[in-house]
Amino acid sequence: MAQVTADALERARRLRLIVFDVDGVLTDGRLWYGPRGEELKAFHVLDGHGLKLLADCGIGAALLSGRSSPAVARRATELGLQHVIQGATDKRPAFDGLLAQLGIGAQEAGYMGDDLPDLPVLAHCGFACAPPAAHAQVLRLAHYVADAHGGRGAAREVCEFVLRAQGHQP
């Protein structure tokens, strides 16, 4: 059963945007390289459909990754995501810039991350989420820790929690 703080439901009700890290959240965190050195990533269809469900209900979704990958750009395009930030070595300024661009306050934004570079965003956003294999410091900040692992439905689980909190049936 997911680990949920007492105020997680209230926090999820306020959300207008959820931002997702990629490696370890939308993927299992492993890096695969093809024979020509190209980076390969495996994304789960459950997670992708969860992001689409958010959009269908008027809740924005975005990606924020410290790495840059053509596979991430392609997946974002397939999902119709308009906001994709890659190569953000310092994620907090990138997150704040996106919020300013969209006119959204930090308390109206959620973030799902799994490792130390995600800590500044998780500590700042209104609804912090993590997959269960996240770093211990990330788990301590999370309002919602999914049962499903990164790349195996963790993002979908968060999407459905938010949708239910806001009165939508996933």
- Report the pLDDT averaged over residues 20-47: 94
pLDDT digit string, tens, across residues 36-83:
988 889 999 999 999 999 999 999 999 999 999 999 999 999 999 999
Is 170 within a domain? no
Nearest to 112 by CA among 136, 138, 92: 138
- Band of residue 7 on the pLDDT scale cut at 50, 70, 90: very high
Is 68 within a domain? yes
pLDDT digit string, tens, across residues 123-164:
999 999 999 999 999 999 999 999 999 999 999 999 999 999
Q: What is the CATH number of the domain that holds 122?
A: 3.40.50.1000
Q: What is the pTM of this model?
A: 0.96
Q: Cα separation of 125 and 62, whole Å?
A: 14
Is 134 within a domain? yes
Is 13 within a domain? yes
Is 69 within a domain? yes
Is 48 within a domain? yes
Number of domains in the chain: 1
Q: What domain range is 124 assigned to?
A: 3-165
Is 77 within a domain? yes
Is 88 within a domain? yes
Q: Which two tokens stand for residue 141?
A: 């900040």
